[in-house]
Amino acid sequence: MSRYQLQIGQTARLWVSFLCYTLSTSMTGPLIGLYAHRLGASSSEIGVVYGLAAFTTLLTRLPLASLQRRLGSRLLIRVGVLANSASMIAYAFSPSINYMYLASGLRGIGFASFHPPALSEAVRLSSNNQRLGWVMTAPPMGMSLGPLLSSSLLAFFNARFGYPLLYILTFLTSAALSGIAFFTPARGEEHHLGEPTQTRDLARLLSSHMVRLITSRLLISYVVGAITAVLPVFLVEKSIMSEPEVPLLFAWASMFNVLGRPLSSFLKSPVHGIIASPILITITGMLFLNSSTPTLYLGMALYGLALGLFIPSSLLMVQSLVEKSSLTMGIALLTLAIDLGASLGSMGAGIMREFIETELTLSVSAIAAGLASLLLSTRFAAKKT
């Protein structure tokens, strides 16, 4: 088998691993808050449930990524898969909100262990800008199909078993899908194995360009955390959508996330994708001032497209800013911004919702974060040119 055929085969296996893992996490993302609401949790407690997962990932992302040189990417990917499956089982059998906190901790460790080595492998195996956009279609495809699957399962199980079995069986299905990803990761790159990354190596990664990129990602992730934690419960409480319909809105957004991935490959520079994303996020915030169903669908479409353009573009930018041997750690720093931003967004939006109308909370968050990210991105682009 030629080197090219081997690389394509490994890329295909990594694509399947990404798809299965993302199917598992995205089909349960909106349901965690709904299930917590069923257990009697307040809006702030729901925010903490989401925020704790992101905060756990924040704490464990860099320590786990630093082990990549010693353990290899394949083992770290599998540890992430096992932790995610365990979290789904813990959510399924949580008798109270306190047990959901434990499940969120496991979910956070799964994200921390899986994403940096998997994304590093995607960049390494894709070889060129055009292929990376297509490889990275797997996560948003999972994000699109996951909510559709959970919506169908909720309706199916509700008709036959009712509460709480409809949630328990859906979470267990998610755990099984995550388990498939255990058998599919690519072999990974072994010639960088050695001592864990040292603190001095980490300091060298924090150039002014990286700091701007990381901060921009944090701001956009704040919007993601706010929308994920607050929007589902708001839609159900205001009778805008039923519980089985809520995942469909997120699936709609993920469809445009899928579209944005290959579109990013046709941009002449990753900077263009990094600039376009906060513009779309800002427009989304303006649309959220109107909570009518058509406006919500339009806003979520732009929101999905923004993420689809930003993520491959930011990965390529990291590749151009760090040495090859430090790619996993560089991506870990970037995804660390996701953890922190999502944690702040979910917890902050959950707390603010106790005092402010949800439309205003989401709108102000998206507009402010989008404009701040745009300012950082344009300054970053000016430096690059």
- Binned at pLDDT 50, 70 and 90, residue 100 comes out as very high
Question: What is the mean predicted confidence (pLDDT) over 68-86?
Answer: 85
- What pLDDT, in 10s, does the model give residues 208-259? 778 888 888 889 988 888 888 788 888 888 888 887 788 788 888 888 988 8
Q: What is the mean pLDDT of residues 350-365?
A: 76
Please report the DSSP string for 247-314 in residue order. HHHHHHHHHHHHHHHHHHHTSSSHHHHHHHHHHHHHHHHHHTTS--HHHHHHHHHHHHHHHHHHHHHH
How much of the chain exceeds pLDDT 70, in percent? 86
pLDDT surpasses 90 at 376? no
pLDDT band at residue 52 under the 50/70/90 scheme? confident
Quick one: pLDDT band at residue 193, thresholds 50, 70, 90?
Answer: very low
What's the pLDDT band for 128 if we cut at 50, 70, 90? low
Dihedral, 371, 372, 375, 376 alpha carbons, nearest 10? -140
Q: How many CB atoms lie within 10 A of CB 163?
A: 11
For the segment 346-361, the average pLDDT, to the nearest whole number, is: 74
pLDDT of residue 383 exceeding 60: no
Check: CB of residue 365 under 8 Å from CB of residue 345.
yes
Alpha-carbon distance 46 to 40, whole Å?
A: 10
DSSP secondary-structure letter at 323? -
Please state the rounded mean pLDDT for residues 274-302.
90
Identify the pLDDT of residue 88.
94
pLDDT at 385: 45
Q: What residue ranges define each of the domains in the chain, with the CATH number in brackets?
A: 3-183+200-384 (1.20.1250.20)
Q: What is d(CA 338, CA 222) in angstroms, rounded to the nearest whole number?
A: 8
**pLDDT band at 192, cuts 50/70/90?**
very low
CA angle at residue 284 from 282 to 288, to 5 degrees? 120
Count CA atoms closer than 13 A to 148's CA, side-chain side. 11
- Per-residue pLDDT tens digits for 138-189: 887 887 788 888 888 888 988 888 888 888 999 999 999 988 888 766 555 5
pLDDT of residue 51: 81
State the average pLDDT over residues 67-74: 76
Residue 350 has pLDDT above 50, yes or no: yes
Q: Is the pLDDT of residue 58 over 70?
A: yes
356/368 Cα distance (integer angstroms): 16
Q: What mean pLDDT is reported for the chain?
A: 81
Which of these ranges, 121-125, 215-219, 279-283, 285-289, has the smallest mean pLDDT?
121-125
What is the pLDDT at residue 5?
56
Q: Is 192 or 215 the better-scoring residue by pLDDT? A: 215
- pLDDT range class, residue 306, cuts 50, 70, 90: very high
